[in-house]
């Protein structure tokens, strides 16, 4: 991030040193991280390398400080804070704030992030301080042969009021060299638009703080302003959807000005969010759990975008670190618990696009589609039915979870017919899954997957609850009977009993196999009480027998795992097993040599 001089001190990392440090993380396209692991990272120090896009591309974001020591780094759910000292005379706090406000759509719709640089004289003397920062055109496009064009604008209440501000755009070496030589910039604009990788263009700001005796601070903002954000194939055909911020602001500079001047409020809201997550995490799982949840919050919301208008909003999500799919149901599925916790009403905004597309007759299958398109930001669906063949019980489960938490039973009635259609597919197919992929598609297809069958059966039980909540008692009784019949049969097929440690198998009647039975989580979450308590206790006891250094293997075929499914298992395990899983994941976060956002282990 910052080009620094000598770095000799050892930094303290609180609560831990993550594999990748969130800097500006607000959407799939504004998603900057400081890689910390080996290979592409430098151990969590700001010095010596640029940030990276989540996919690994370099994002030029530079600052300059005289020889300096990084003494500390800390993160919360919304902030990453680096603390520096210069010659034991000046202390600098460099704070990256990416707001998370799902309950405030206006603020959540703004794809902007803050950088607050706080300077303090700590030796009792005054010191002249000049600050410098720039970003490169690498932020504009992943294809660095693309022609970058840039503009400069001012507002009446924003950057024009910053004392000692100068700016300059141009070749990276020239702009940075000008500040190094003069301590300020020339207020000139490079008008030679060119490919990103030709004489790398940057836009720089310099702020002269003057003689610093106590505390001085300078606020920078970085953002993305797309007017049209997505293409969506809805009931009326393909339509372009605007970013939701366009419904609140008439032009880009108005949005940016609001965000800049909103820092005091945004900071207070962030402190409140941080405190809520901290308190609840400590109560639920202790400091190790807080290490996990606070690192995960920005990462989760950084894959999303609010679009639409004040009458109708949608909340879209992109697959990150896998492919370009949009509104992937089995990606929403591990994401939606954070919405249940922070703002349940947002779940509806995620499910609506999937319901609208399929209920308009644009999906020919009798089970739920896997995603709304292969190429984000084009949510154009799969009119030919050529989607990944993964029947998704998740839609039934998430729809019920939303209605339970918000008491919006009208939503269940509105979509009852298609939910029934999907449930009939589960009745026909769930007990004996075909040779097919599960949500863990990277592991390949397998017939009669025990965990997959369990999710389908729980889906039928969830439909029984939906029927009862909507006044369809006869349907409710029918689905309840089927679900209980199936779960009894499932236990005889999917539980290994003729070995030392009783456990669920990876696939039916394969006693020497196993897997994390994470789909059991929704039985407890939805209060269905379908699965006997003995199954919960059995799995919880078994997990301790297959523990590796950093947790549980996803299944017996491989030694990798997924952190989301481990936490789903932890949520329904005994206290000792829960603590084991949380401890192992927190340990991995601190010790891993990988350098991306956490997920696979």
Counting Cβ atoms within 10 Å, is residue 67 exposed (0-12), middle (13-18) or buried (19+)? Answer: exposed
Q: Is residue 140 part of a domain?
A: yes
d(CA 552, CA 457): 25
Per the structure, the complete domain to which residue 215 belongs is given by 12-225
pTM score of the predicted model: 0.95
CA angle 239, 241, 245 (to 5 degrees): 165
Query: Is the separation of the CB atoms in 430 and 486 below 8 Å?
Result: yes
Which DSSP symbol is given to 243? B
- Residue 245's nearest CA partner among 262, 228, 261, 231 is 228
**pLDDT at residue 161 above 70?**
no
**pLDDT at residue 199 above 80?**
yes
Between the CA of residue 514 and those of 7, 372, 408, 563, what are the distances in Å? 48, 32, 38, 17
**pLDDT at residue 57 above 90?**
no
CB atoms within 10 A of CB 310: 10
Q: Which H helix or E strand runs over 205?
A: strand 201-212
The count of structural domains within the chain is: 1
Q: Is residue 50 part of a domain?
A: yes
Tell me what the mean pLDDT of segment 269-286 comes to. Answer: 98
Q: Is residue 32 part of a domain?
A: yes
Q: Is residue 17 part of a domain?
A: yes
Q: Is residue 68 part of a domain?
A: yes
Q: Is 54 helix (H, G, I), strand (E, B) or coil?
A: coil
d(CA 437, CA 439): 7
CATH number for the domain spanning 58: value is 2.70.98.40
CA diameter of the chain: 81
pLDDT band at 597 (very low <50, low <70, confident <90, very high): confident
Tens digit of each residue's pLDDT (9 = 90 or more) over 349-376:
999 999 999 999 999 999 999 999 999 9
CB atoms within 10 A of CB 455: 29
- Residue 582's nearest CA partner among 281, 280, 277, 298 is 281
Give the model's pLDDT for residue 36: 86
Q: Is residue 120 part of a domain?
A: yes
Q: Is residue 24 part of a domain?
A: yes
Q: Is residue 144 part of a domain?
A: yes
pLDDT band at 4 (very low <50, low <70, confident <90, very high): very low
Question: 32-36, 239-243, 415-419: lowest mean pLDDT where?
Answer: 32-36
Tens digit of each residue's pLDDT (9 = 90 or more) over 208-260:
999 999 899 999 999 999 999 999 999 888 999 999 999 999 999 999 999 99
Tens digit of each residue's pLDDT (9 = 90 or more) over 448-475:
999 999 999 999 999 999 999 999 999 9
């Amino acid at each position: 991030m910052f080009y620094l001089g000598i770095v000799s001190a050892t930094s303290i990392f609180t609560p831990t040193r993550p594999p990748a440090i969130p800097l500006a993380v607000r959407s799939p396209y504004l998603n900057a991280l400081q890689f910390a692991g080996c290979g592409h990272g430098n151990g969590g120090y700001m010095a010596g390398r640029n940030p990276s896009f989540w996919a690994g591309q370099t994002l030029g974001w530079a600052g300059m400080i005289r020889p300096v020591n990084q003494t500390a780094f800390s993160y919360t759910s919304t902030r990453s804070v680096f603390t520096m000292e210069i010659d034991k005379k000046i202390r600098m706090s460099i704070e990256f704030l990416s707001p998370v406000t799902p309950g405030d759509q206006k603020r959540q719709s703004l794809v902007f992030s803050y950088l607050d640089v706080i300077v303090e004289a700590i030796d009792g003397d005054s010191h002249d301080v000049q600050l410098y920062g720039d970003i490169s055109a690498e932020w504009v496009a992943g294809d660095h042969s693309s022609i970058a064009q840039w503009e400069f604008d001012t507002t009446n209440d924003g950057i024009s009021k910053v004392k000692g501000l100068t700016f300059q755009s141009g070749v990276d070496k020239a702009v940075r060299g000008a500040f190094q030589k003069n301590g300020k910039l020339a207020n000139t604009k490079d008008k030679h638009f060119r490919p990103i990788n030709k004489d790398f263009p940057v836009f720089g700001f310099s702020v002269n703080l003057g003689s610093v005796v106590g505390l001085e601070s300078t606020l920078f903002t970085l953002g993305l302003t797309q007017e049209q954000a997505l293409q969506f194939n809805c009931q009326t055909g393909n339509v372009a959807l605007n970013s939701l911020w366009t419904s609140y602001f008439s032009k880009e500079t108005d949005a940016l000005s609001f965000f800049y001047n909103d820092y005091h409020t945004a900071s207070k809201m962030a402190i409140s969010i941080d405190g809520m997550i901290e308190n609840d995490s400590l109560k639920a799982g202790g400091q190790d759990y807080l290490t996990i949840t606070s690192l995960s919050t920005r990462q989760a919301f950084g894959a999303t975008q609010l679009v639409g208008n004040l009458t109708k909003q949608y909340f879209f999500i992109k697959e990150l670190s896998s492919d370009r799919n949009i509104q992937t149901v089995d990606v929403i599925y591990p994401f939606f618990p954070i919405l249940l916790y922070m703002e349940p009403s947002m779940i509806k905004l995620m499910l609506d696009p999937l319901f609208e597309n399929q209920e308009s007759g644009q999906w020919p299958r009798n089970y739920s589609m896997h995603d709304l398109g292969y190429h984000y930001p084009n949510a154009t669906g799969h009119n030919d039915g050529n989607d990944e063949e993964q029947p998704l019980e998740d839609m039934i489960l998430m729809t019920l979870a939303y209605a339970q938490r918000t008491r919006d039973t009208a939503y269940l009635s509105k979509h009852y017919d298609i939910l029934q259609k999907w449930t009939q597919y589960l009745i026909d197919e769930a007990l004996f899954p075909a040779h097919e992929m599960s949500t863990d598609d990277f592991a390949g297809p397998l017939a009669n997957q025990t965990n997959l069958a369990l999710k389908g059966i729980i889906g039928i039980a969830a439909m029984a609850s939906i029927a009862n909540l909507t006044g369809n008692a006869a349907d409710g009784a029918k689905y309840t009977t089927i679900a209980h019949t199936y779960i009894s049969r499932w236990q005889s097929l999917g539980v290994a009993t003729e070995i030392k440690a009783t456990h669920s198998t990876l696939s039916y009647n394969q006693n020497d196999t196993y897997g994390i039975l994470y789909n059991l989580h929704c039985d407890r979450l939805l209060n269905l009480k379908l699965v006997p308590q003995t199954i919960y206790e059995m799995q919880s006891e078994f997990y301790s027998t297959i523990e590796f250094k950093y947790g549980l293997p996803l299944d017996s075929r491989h030694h990798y795992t997924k952190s989301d499914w481990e936490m789903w298992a932890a949520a329904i395990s005994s206290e000792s097993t829960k603590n084991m899983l949380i401890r192992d994941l927190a340990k991995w976060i601190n010790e891993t040599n990988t350098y991306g956002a956490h997920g696979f282990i």
